[in-house]
Structure 1
Amino acid sequence: MTQERILLVDDEEEIIAFMKDALEREGYQVFTAANGREALELSQLQPELILLDVMMPELDGFETCRRLREFTQCPIVFLSACQSETDRIQGLAAGGDDYLLKPFSLAELKARIHAHLRREKRGLTPQDQSVLRFHSLTIDCKGYTVNGNGQDISLTNKEFKIVELLAMHPGQVFTREQIYEKLWGWDAEGDDATVTEHIKKIRAKFAACIPDRTYIQTVWGIGYKWEVK
């Protein structure tokens, strides 16, 4: 049976040693990084879950998470002594899946890890990801088609790419700048305001077929995310 891989990122050596030992006793394969830059390098080992400290020198946890989310889809759990609601919101907006306050018990940490890994196993397999289904909405990524309540929804190429990007990362917040750079490219002429216009058109087309749900949610002051509740 393949061991599930966990990447543990914290600049405190004692915490790293303690948590690594505890998680290895649970049967996990644990990689450790002392800062954000090491975490970005070790993410190439494709961990199933990342435990990420917030307060680190040079590259803090929030910025590390944002960079990880450019190529990593696994659950990211923040570990932090910062208890303010603003910090928790910032962590989730950066692409985190959970926020665990220090000090925490090992029992709680293990329970959170187990819950996230179990949720991932229940999710889509790589083979399934060509077709995404959300309630009455179906997105065929290979066929470039979208269907809502049995009706085909006609999208332009860029509109489809925006839907695909957000739907492939449900709950993750993307800024307008990130969406523009990913889909139009760094050297494109224009600005990220065009993303807002495209999303308005997508919402109007969705509403015509699925009036009771709004899949693309605005995160005020930050950007957009795919909401499946």
Structure 2
Amino acid sequence: MNNKKILVVDDDEDICLTIKQYLELHHYQVETVHSGAEALKMISGDVDLIILDIMMEGIDGMELCRMIRDRVDCPILFVSAKTLEEDKVQALSIGGDDYITKPFSLKELKARIDSHLRREERIRSNERYLLSSKNMTIDLLANEVFCKGRKLPLTKKEYEIVKLLMLNQKVVFSKERIFERVWGIDSDSQLDAVTESIKNIRKKIKAVDPETSYIQTLYGLGYKWDVSNEKR
């Protein structure tokens, strides 16, 4: 069962009804409004895609897109009788994701909707494997850490320490606990390897972001990942 919610904004009530009935046959949830002012009251973060007519009285589609683009990150699909290239370019440049000219096929409209929503799903799926903290991002699939967009040249053990601390932010880990989790209790390495690795991690981070101390030392207790007291 499709639970995706689509908002149709068009001052032509017949077009709204036609789109609504067709998409509901394909199990989409569809809301319709007939002006930009009405749309402003309806638009929220739970809308998965917006179909937006350009030529409406009052707040037209272009103006509405400018007003809402910073508030919603869902795809916006413009529909319009305007066929000039500059109209399409303008619509896409202000935040639209697609442009389809009237009259259009309902099958084509649905195909474009499906395509945009599949892309959004792929993006959301990938984001589940990214963990960010201020200027640091860890890609849990690629086993890579980035600071201000630059990949940090971490060793395998250094990466494992960063991952452990970032996944458990503000949790204090003793050197012994870090050693057991990263090296293993049967390792021939010494406990000082933890101190040395954290020293190296800090050095590599500082080379890119000298203003932030991501790994905090609690003397006599251990280490934790905490940027809550850092300058924004």
In 1, Cα distance between equivalents of 2:211 and 2:106: 49
Shift of 1:153: 4.0
In 1, Cα distance between equivalents of 2:61 and 2:14: 18
In 2, Cα distance between equivalents of 1:139 and 1:88: 37
What is aligned with 1:148? 150
User: What do you get for the CA RMSD once the two structures are aligned?
Assistant: 2.9
What is aligned with 1:173? none
Shift of 1:22: 0.6
Q: How many residues align?
A: 151
The 8 Å contact of residues 33 and 39 in structure 1, kept in 2 or not, is answered as yes
For residue 94 of structure 2, what is the amino acid of its counterpart? Answer: A
In 2, Cα distance between equivalents of 1:155 and 1:86: 45
The 8 Å contact of residues 35 and 57 in structure 1, kept in 2 or not, is answered as yes
Shift of 1:44: 2.2
What is aligned with 1:118? 118
Structure-to-structure mapping, 1:184-223, within 5 angstroms: none
**Higher deviation after alignment, 148-157 or 55-64:** 148-157
Question: 1:107-136: CA deviations, max 9, x gaps?
Answer: 10010000001010001356556549xxxx
Q: Secondary structure at the match of 2:50?
A: strand
What is aligned with 2:60? 60
Question: 1:55-97: CA deviations, max 9, x gaps?
Answer: 0011010110111112100000000111111111110111110
What is aligned with 1:104? 104
The 8 Å contact of residues 147 and 153 in structure 1, kept in 2 or not, is answered as no
Shift of 1:5: 0.3
2:24 aligned with 1:27? no
2:70 aligned with 1:70? yes
- Which contiguous aligned blocks of 4+ residues in structure 1 show a shift greater than 6 angstroms? none
Shift of 1:147: 3.6
In 2, Cα distance between equivalents of 1:150 and 1:14: 56
The 8 Å contact of residues 8 and 50 in structure 1, kept in 2 or not, is answered as yes
Seen in structure 2, the aligned counterparts of structure 1 residues 146 and 2 have a Cα distance that, compared at 3 Å, is same
The 8 Å contact of residues 78 and 98 in structure 1, kept in 2 or not, is answered as yes
Q: Secondary structure at the match of 1:118?
A: helix
Which segments of 5 or more consecutive residues in structure 2 lack a partner in the other structure? 139-144, 154-206, 213-232
What is aligned with 2:87? 87
In 1, Cα distance between equivalents of 2:150 and 2:51: 37
Shift of 1:3: 1.3
Give the share of equivalent positions with the same residue, in percent: 42
Seen in structure 2, the aligned counterparts of structure 1 residues 69 and 27 have a Cα distance that, compared at 3 Å, is same
Shift of 1:140: 2.9
Question: 1:27-79: CA deviations, max 9, x gaps?
Answer: 00001110111112111262100000000011010110111112100000000
In 1, Cα distance between equivalents of 2:146 and 2:121: 26
In 2, Cα distance between equivalents of 1:144 and 1:118: 27
In 2, Cα distance between equivalents of 1:16 and 1:155: 55
Larger Rg: 2
The two structures have a TM-score, normalised by structure 2, of 0.58
In 2, Cα distance between equivalents of 1:64 and 1:148: 36
**Higher deviation after alignment, 109-118 or 120-129:** 120-129
